[in-house]
Structure 1
């Protein structure tokens, strides 16, 4: 008997050079910078504003606009500078696959599960493969820039883009974002990392001001970006819509010049989000390119910028630097040497299977009373209820929306406008069909759940009831609370009262409350499971796949446990299409210094509140033990054993518990390991010292004293502990 895959955060990860967590991996951007500077010296003045702005090659305002023949219907287009061999930039959304854009290109793509589902795998190598897949499909369609790499921390689970982001923890988010970016850029295309920074809510997203101290930001959200950049070396950084400490994120000297370019020595370019530029002065504050210029009040980075550069040496120097940074990203990723063109071959079947594997590894088993799961193939009758399970699986809406061949199986408009861009859509992967294929001779029936009495009657007649419940989320729209919409909580409670052998399958973009939790036998969190999500769900329900996902966010018991029980602005900001008020009637801000760097599980540890399910939680069809944790310097080792009767995957989570006598709860490393029954493996985890330190204004600082660590089943359940005394230490720059 032998072990299988082992993935360890803090080591090479099989996707970057060793030492990546220590910020020591070779930076391809730095290597390309000299060539980029040489090209800038050859540029004529009229060429210097070609790369500094882009247009959406879509007639968004219905004016009959025409675009160059080589532009592709998508997010962005910047023309080439053929004299210098600089290729055109052709951009597409997003992190979960090549965006659908309401079918405007008359093609389709493979949808990965949502980013939060990917994070639930705790598997950087698999996330890297997913990035490589969507990057490959983008390249085959002719795109050479993918607007991927969402790494913002989940500070509020009601945030509408929670499904697009990885987690509430800076280490987990940064490592996985770096892995995804590495995969994307392996195709000789540029990936972004986004949205810098603190994009925590969609309500008033164009003007809400995130208030936070420098130290708290550096130890949380900015650390996630820093780790992701160190590991993935994205060619571009996309700045956010919101303000940070009074300044728009795309016009923030603090974020773009001081933190990103000076302190982190970032060599690539900063592109704006679409409609996030407020004036030409943003160039001096670190913005390198205006994106989707039709969505801004004016085109600032073309003739206006050229005029400034002609009159002001500061703008002239800045313009050269802007060009150098865009060219650096182009050269580092080989866009000029390996041009992308439409019509490339795509292995849709293989890509769909990869999406299914991500979904299987990301599904989290939250409850399994009486071992109701996996379902026996000999069950005589199964009632499947709700969630459009007869049609497909839910996906999140907005710029990240992906759809496969023939488009969505189900479209439910948000409102009477019927817009597909912000609508509830379901991928063509029917859980009902997949359950029937695995149920043997059992009678499988379906009720849509619209009428509770009808669902209850069918549940009462079946041996097992499976209720599919959905929580739709979208860019531009926060959810008002964490309940299930459409009366689904009442439906589940009624079905469970009629049949105690009820299993709930959640297709959600974030955490939800579960007032019915003690009444049901099983709960499966499937997230938005992507192109083959129905098959992945059925594989877990019937035991073809052993559930191994772990929660990347905390599930609170109620909104009252959150740092801001009331979502800032939700009482007065009126939605205008994408949740954007036309003009704010008054200033809107969110006080992130309430929790500071104690995001998610750290907040719960600090307050002592007991969540519904903690960060890192997840059950399996087998069992594991961890023992003999040892700490030596910034290295940990522990033995993991499969003590159950079937093969499975465990995620060993290493937490800091106490630092020099002060309580600190921080994830400092993790390792996903596959083991056969009875097999054990000793694994090593490298600790990034920044996770043990505080930001002191100019660098990182660790106090001397005893440091206590533990391997946890989750952020609350510790199983083996070890302590070490460490000396005081201060340093600047990356971890050393």
Structure 2
């Protein structure tokens, strides 16, 4: 997340020293050896050597960061060497060969902070929730690698990416940045994005640690949750992402957890992250999430980020005073600095310094093809009555209504915003200030659909419902685009589409039953008109070339293969909390929210636990072809279960199937009836079959025991089911497991590759995206 900062010549002397101090060298002194420059040594040893050579002031400046965007409201000017309109800057130490940290938000692309008159031209991926809907780790990796490349060319070496907060509440305004409700799916997909980002020798974070699952009162709310439930839900998602992605940094969150602010929580930072998980990197604060000097430093925070968003520069002059007076041990400051510097060595930031290249060096066409491939595979076909989609060439006229489909596609708001070249396709919408503006990427579904079909398309903006209904009645079919803007710092008041869009869709459906609804939303929405329309596509926020992707799916140039990463409720009364916890009379109130209500039973697990039927189940997604599962087998091996199942394309089109494996103990005793155990995505030609193979992480067969801090598998019979959603098991089998500890995870090298796709290092090679023909 990002906010605002402060830097000027009026700062206290100690702060200026922390920025500019260079130890004086007496005349005749000889340069000292610098063994940390030897790249053949382990990163941890190099970090220890470098920090030993630092002065106290240099250590302090390494753990204190600045915002890098001017703030007129605070008379704050970015540090002179900070990148303009970016998230942050931490000074380097030239005499020791330590480069500055240039930081950018980058969960969806290299972001530009609001206020830039001419935002930098960079590529936006589809939303994080959209990428999760692909169920294709290779696409997450490719998108991350694209972001990493653009970051280097833009002069950034630390990216605030890797959002993995679970979707506990579908009204959370920031869900679009994250990866859904299941810890395995979220952890794998975000871990792969982080791995891709860091392939370009830049550091990525994983964020927000932890339980920042609503935006309302996010800086003050206190999350109550028991340890075991925490470890089996949000913390498991973060743990999996960290194991798979190996991020250089973890960003702690705004909220409090069981009474303590997350950025000074001994439980979260010292006990879980650095203790139980042995995380070697550093913990940076979210912008404005630091609240103290001594407790924060002692309890695990390694770097205060984004001055001046916090009340005080706690890790600058205040930390120096605490070190000098013995309130924080000097060894703790060394540990803080070594963690920061160690991550910079480990991920190539020091040995591969960034420089700002000309903007033309960014290949927007090739990178846009990566984004389009992601968007095409992310689109979920929710309903397709009568096979209305793909659009038949026999349709002579189609009415296209609403959503600014003539101009572009919507994106989410806040610090993650990536601006399109030339600015928004639809200017002057949404709030002028943060988290606005509302931005549409310049990729028109209408124009691309006109290029792909010979059907006559007639467009209306939908503001006049009667005129739109009249056009619908005179057309062979209708495509209505419905949008829902969500953003950081804001939660949604309800799950209904905003404005009068539900009424518009209902009117269009009454005029012409052959109506297709295309949703550009930040997450699940209610659909009171669902029974009256023939087809529904969830396109999420589809990114830089999302309009093309939508049109290619509508026309049949692409067969949809997305599956929901989140449950779509039938009503808000089905949720664990009917309303988001907040004090309606006081913004920023110190209220509590009780996550022990659902505990680890998040999303589909809650619905199954309560016996509630959702509107659309987790994992749901239709295709223009059909698939059949057979030969399900499960084998206990090496403390886990290995599942295989044959998948055959029984239709007339090439398509991609997602074989989803769910596990449950027949004796019960889990937080919910079943858990996602793994999946495999296969690309199959008509009539072709393939074998999906899934290694289930042992922790997904276990319960966490807080007393011993171990995962334990109970002896008994376990049901293994496979299907194409959590609510549609096609085959079942069972297997007996002995009681055992579940100490580890399945290494990435043992994860099944994406069969049916060309592979490189176990992941699809998307180099072909350069010609726009990604698969």
How much does 1:730 deviate? 2.2
Equivalents in 2 of 1:45, 1:718: separation in Å? Answer: 61
Question: Which of 717, 724, 732 is the equivalent residue of 1:706?
Answer: 717
Q: Is the 8 A contact 1:275 1:296 kept in 2?
A: yes
Equivalents in 1 of 2:315, 2:474: separation in Å? Answer: 66
Q: Is the 8 A contact 2:648 2:689 kept in 1?
A: yes
Aligned counterparts, 1:379-390, within 5 A: 379-390=395-406
Q: Is the 8 A contact 1:471 1:507 kept in 2?
A: yes
With 40-49 and 545-554 compared, the bigger mean Cα shift is at: 40-49
Give CA deviations for 1:537-596 in whole Å, capped at 9, x if unaligned: 00000000000000000000010000101111163344xxxxxx3xx2xx3111100100
Equivalents in 1 of 2:402, 2:41: separation in Å? Answer: 53
Aligned twin of 1:563: 576
Equivalents in 1 of 2:40, 2:133: separation in Å? Answer: 30
How much does 1:210 deviate? 0.9
Question: Which of 260, 264, 269 is the equivalent residue of 1:251?
Answer: 264
Q: Secondary structure of 2:304's partner?
A: coil
Question: Gaps (5+ residues) in structure 2?
Answer: 1-38, 748-775
**Larger RCO (CA within 8 A; separation ≥ 6):** 1
Aligned twin of 1:366: 382
Equivalents in 2 of 1:184, 1:573: separation in Å? Answer: 40
Does the alignment pair 1:327 with 2:336?
Answer: no
Aligned twin of 1:18: none
With 178-187 and 652-661 compared, the bigger mean Cα shift is at: 652-661
Does the alignment pair 1:509 with 2:525?
Answer: no
How much does 1:176 deviate? 0.5
Aligned twin of 2:18: none
Aligned twin of 2:94: 82
How much does 1:346 deviate? 1.1
Question: Which of 276, 298, 307 is the equivalent residue of 1:293?
Answer: 307
Question: Which of 364, 369, 394 is the equivalent residue of 1:353?
Answer: 369
Q: 1:362 to 1:250 in 2, by over 3 A?
A: same
Q: 1:250 to 1:159 in 2, by over 3 A?
A: same
Equivalents in 1 of 2:586, 2:420: separation in Å? Answer: 35
Question: Gaps (5+ residues) in structure 1?
Answer: 1-27, 575-580
Q: 1:200 to 1:573 in 2, by over 3 A?
A: farther
With 265-274 and 429-438 compared, the bigger mean Cα shift is at: 429-438
Does the alignment pair 1:677 with 2:659?
Answer: no
Q: Is the 8 A contact 1:101 1:421 kept in 2?
A: no
Question: Which of 690, 693, 697 is the equivalent residue of 2:699?
Answer: 690
Equivalents in 2 of 1:196, 1:174: separation in Å? Answer: 13
Equivalents in 2 of 1:707, 1:179: separation in Å? Answer: 29
How much does 1:413 deviate? 4.0
Equivalents in 2 of 1:374, 1:30: separation in Å? Answer: 57
Q: Is the 8 A contact 1:431 1:537 kept in 2?
A: yes
Q: Please, what is the CA RMSD of the aligned residues?
A: 1.7
Q: Is the 8 A contact 2:67 2:78 kept in 1?
A: no
Does the alignment pair 1:478 with 2:481?
Answer: no
Does the alignment pair 1:649 with 2:656?
Answer: yes
Aligned twin of 1:25: none
Q: Is the 8 A contact 2:220 2:256 kept in 1?
A: yes
Aligned twin of 2:447: 433
Question: Which of 216, 221, 237 is the equivalent residue of 1:224?
Answer: 237
Equivalents in 2 of 1:535, 1:349: separation in Å? Answer: 13
Q: Secondary structure of 1:49's partner?
A: helix
Does the alignment pair 1:94 with 2:94?
Answer: no
Give CA deviations for 1:390-436 in whole Å, capped at 9, x if unaligned: 11101000001112210111135445xx2264232211111111121
Give CA deviations for 1:330-353 in whole Å, capped at 9, x if unaligned: 001111111111115211101111
Equivalents in 2 of 1:233, 1:428: separation in Å? Answer: 34
Give CA deviations for 1:267-286 in whole Å, capped at 9, x if unaligned: 00000000011010201110
Question: Which of 621, 628, 631 is the equivalent residue of 2:631?
Answer: 628
Aligned twin of 2:750: none
Q: 1:412 to 1:212 in 2, by over 3 A?
A: farther
Aligned twin of 2:617: 614
How much does 1:354 deviate? 0.9
Give CA deviations for 1:637-681 in whole Å, capped at 9, x if unaligned: 111111111100000100013344556310010111100011111
Equivalents in 2 of 1:464, 1:260: separation in Å? Answer: 54
Aligned twin of 1:8: none
Q: Is the 8 A contact 2:402 2:461 kept in 1?
A: yes
Q: Secondary structure of 1:292's partner?
A: strand
How much does 1:123 deviate? 0.3
Does the alignment pair 1:724 with 2:757?
Answer: no
How much does 1:604 deviate? 0.6
Q: Secondary structure of 1:259's partner?
A: helix
Q: Secondary structure of 2:673's partner?
A: strand
Aligned residues: 696
Aligned twin of 1:55: 66
Q: Secondary structure of 2:553's partner?
A: helix
Aligned counterparts, 1:143-542, within 5 A: 143-281=156-294, 282-312=296-326, 314-343=328-357, 345-415=361-431, 418-419=432-433, 421-440=435-454, 442-542=455-555
Q: 1:369 to 1:248 in 2, by over 3 A?
A: same
Q: 1:72 to 1:240 in 2, by over 3 A?
A: same
Equivalents in 1 of 2:515, 2:745: separation in Å? Answer: 50
Equivalents in 1 of 2:407, 2:41: separation in Å? Answer: 49
Equivalents in 2 of 1:268, 1:693: separation in Å? Answer: 28
With 476-485 and 63-72 compared, the bigger mean Cα shift is at: 63-72
How much does 1:731 deviate? 4.8
Q: Is the 8 A contact 1:29 1:233 kept in 2?
A: no
Give CA deviations for 1:495-539 in whole Å, capped at 9, x if unaligned: 000001110000000000000000001000000000011110000
Aligned twin of 1:603: 606
With 605-614 and 682-691 compared, the bigger mean Cα shift is at: 682-691
Aligned twin of 1:640: 647
Equivalents in 1 of 2:328, 2:293: separation in Å? Answer: 13
Aligned twin of 2:772: none
Equivalents in 2 of 1:73, 1:372: separation in Å? Answer: 46
Aligned counterparts, 1:564-603, within 5 A: 564-569=577-582, 571-574=584-587, 581=588, 584=589, 587-603=590-606
How much does 1:65 deviate? 2.7
TM-score (structure 1 length as normaliser): 0.92
Equivalents in 1 of 2:430, 2:363: separation in Å? Answer: 33
Aligned counterparts, 1:23-42, within 5 A: 31-42=42-53
Q: Is the 8 A contact 2:297 2:328 kept in 1?
A: no
Equivalents in 1 of 2:142, 2:380: separation in Å? Answer: 20
Equivalents in 2 of 1:315, 1:278: separation in Å? Answer: 19
Equivalents in 1 of 2:437, 2:491: separation in Å? Answer: 14
Give CA deviations for 1:229-261 in whole Å, capped at 9, x if unaligned: 011000000010011111111110000000000
Equivalents in 2 of 1:570, 1:509: separation in Å? Answer: 24
Equivalents in 1 of 2:583, 2:687: separation in Å? Answer: 52
Q: Is the 8 A contact 1:210 1:242 kept in 2?
A: yes
Equivalents in 2 of 1:234, 1:499: separation in Å? Answer: 51
Q: Secondary structure of 2:727's partner?
A: coil
Equivalents in 1 of 2:621, 2:694: separation in Å? Answer: 21
